[in-house]
Amino acid sequence: WFLEKSGARDGDSQAALLGSTIHAYAKLLADGAIDLTVAQNRLERTWHLIDLNTGWVHQAGLVDALRTLNRFFSWHSDNPRTVEATEAKFKFTIGRVIVSGSADRIEIDDDGARYIVDLKTSRNEITKDDAATNQQMAAYQAALASGAFEGIESGAKVAGAELVYPATDSVNVSIREQGPQPVDQTRATLTRVGEAMSGASFVARINTNCRICAVRSLCPMQGEGRSVIQ
């Protein structure tokens, strides 16, 4: 977070563009504004704007992108829950800490319980154990439980969260689930994190997310980033 906030960016702009494109189609799909055939045709027509490679590399990239798109649409079709909101924004305050952001989806089941769903276009999913304690998803759940999402009524049961990975090599779309999180515990964690983020210094720590960090080459805790301080 600190490096990206300071201007560091992942050098893979193609992956970022594809991620934004898949998210855009996911929103249109949830809104009933697009079907798979139209989305496929649009992606094929605009692929030259996303992937600047040529020849078989360009074509292979398109095949992978279409596979990701197809798998997400299939997952959406089989999903028994109803999409209540997409790209839903939230904001709430804990003491001096302001927590804000947006969630890809808020879904509701037949019993009226709500779920946070986050679409990930990375090929590498996090472990099930990491998903169970993922603080980003816990923060989304706390926001939902607190009635902090725009246009979403407060007081409804929050049943959990899911990370959806349609681009992995697994046979089916990879799902990482997180059960309901204690709101008070999450708020306490967010307070500690917020205080650390606003401090005069920021301590780099090794954790399980380092393996998928987009800017690890700039981190002094990583071998490839040691030159930053040496």
- Which CATH number fits the domain that encloses residue 193? 3.90.320.10
Do 125 and 171 fall within a single domain?
yes
Domain range for 111 is: 81-199
Q: Which pTM value belongs to this model?
A: 0.83
- Under-50 pLDDT residues of the chain: 1, 3, 6-8, 11, 228-229
User: Does a structural domain hold residue 225?
Assistant: no
Q: pLDDT at position 226, please? A: 54
Three-class SS state of 108: strand
Residue 56 falls inside a structural domain: yes
Same domain, 6 and 113: no
Q: How does DSSP classify residue 147? A: T
Q: Is residue 177 part of a domain?
A: yes
CA distance 227 to 230: 5
| Co-location of 56 and 100 in the same domain | no
The verdict on 109 and 181 lying in the same domain is: yes
CA-based R_g, the chain, Å: 19
Query: Is the domain of 74 the same as that of 20?
Result: yes
Using the 3D structure, point to which of 15, 50, 78 is the last residue of a domain: 78
Residue 206, domain member (yes or no): no
- Same domain for 150 and 169? yes
At residue 144, the pLDDT reads 95
Q: Are residues 54 and 140 in the same domain?
A: no
Is there a single domain that holds both residue 142 and residue 177? Answer: yes
- How confident is the model at residue 214, as a pLDDT? 67
8 Å CB contact between 154 and 147: yes
pLDDT of residue 145: 93
